[in-house]
Amino acid sequence: MNPPITLCALPQTPDAFRMQATRTLKQGSAPMFAGFLKDQRHVNGVDIACRVGGSGPGLLLLHGHPQTHVIWHKIAEQLAEHFTVVAADLRGYGDSSRPDADELHLSYSKREMARDNVDLMKALGFEQFSILAHDRGARVAHRLALDHPAAVQRMMLLDIAPTLAMYTQTNEAFARAYWHWFFLIRSAPLPETLIEANPEGYLRSVMGSRSAGLKPFTDEAFSEYRRCLQQPGSARGICEDYRASAGIDLEHDRADIAAHHHLGLPLRVLWGAEGTVGRCFDPLKEWQQVATNVTGQALPAGHYIAEEVPGLLLAEALAFLR
Q: Which helix (H) or strand (E) holds 210?
A: none
Helix (H) or strand (E) holding 264: none
> What residue type is assigned to position 50 of the chain?
C
Q: Partners of 155 in the beta sheet?
A: 131, 267
Please say whether the beta carbons of 21 and 318 come within 8 A: yes
Distance CA 289, CA 242 (A): 23
Active site residue 241: no
Strands 46-54 and 129-134: unpaired
Characterize the bridge pairing of strands 129-134 and 152-158. Answer: parallel
CA distance 107 to 110: 9
Question: Choosing from 89, 135, 249, 256, which is the catalytic residue?
Answer: 135
Q: Say whether 253 is catalytic.
A: no
Alpha-carbon gap, residue 118 to 141, rounded angstroms: 10
CB environment 79-117: b (16+ within 10 A), e (fewer): bbbbbbbbbbbbbbbbbbbbbebeeebebbbbbbbbbbb
CA distance 97 to 111: 16
* Residues belonging to the active site: 135, 303
